Amino acid sequence: MSIETNDATIPFTAIDPALHLEYLYGPQWAAVLRIVERAAQLTAEERERMNAEAGKRMQDSMSAFTGGAEGLGGLLSSFGQPAVDPQPLRIASETAKEFGRSRNVQVAGLIAGQAVSATPSTGGELAGLLQSLGSIGTLTAVSQAVTAAVLGDLVGRGRYTQEVHDALMQPWTAAIS
């Protein structure tokens, strides 16, 4: 098989496979690939740790959103207050858009999600549904990790700081290490 160009015919074997991976995941494709491959091999214990970490982070985010106050009254009292700095995922999304990496983040997240979801369920359709709902924290942690990996070479550019990068990676690294 070969590819024809205006100037010559190039044998297909002469094309570097890394170019395809870089097209999909961006220049940090090797880091993304490591996370995707590892995500497909998560143990039940690692999944539980990721779900717990994601639950904790969600609770912290809601607490920050409501200003630490309880209930609807706390939420309503936070209106009109100065906006809190956007969450790391929002900063990462803005950075991806600014540097032309939005498609890379989307593709990496999709592939990572498939890797996490590839674990077969036992016990029928209802058990499979419950298992997939229980994996939302895992999917979130893996998605954030591949987002950080895609943007890894952009740390220090704009608002995408090492702190933002580490915040995205934290649920992944806490569960895997």
The reported pTM is 0.70
- Could you tell me the residue ranges of all domains in the chain? 17-176
Q: Are 168 and 147 in contact (CB under 8 A)?
A: yes
In our burial notation (b when 16+ CB lie closer than 10 A, e otherwise), range 72-99 reads eeeeeeeeeeeeeeebbbebbbebbeeb
Q: What is the reported pLDDT for 134?
A: 56
According to the model, what pLDDT value does residue 116 have?
A: 86
Please state, in angstroms and rounded to a whole number, the distance separating the CA atoms of residues 135 and 145.
Answer: 15
HEC per residue, 103-129: HHHHHHHHHHHHHHHCCCCCCHHHHHH
Residues of the chain with pLDDT below 70 are: 1-18, 58-86, 118-134, 177
Which pLDDT belongs to residue 20? 76
For residue 72, the model assigns a pLDDT of 52
Whether the Cβ atoms of residue 175 and residue 88 lie closer than 8 Å to each other: no
pLDDT at res. 120: 52
Rounded CA gap, 7 and 18, in Å? Answer: 23
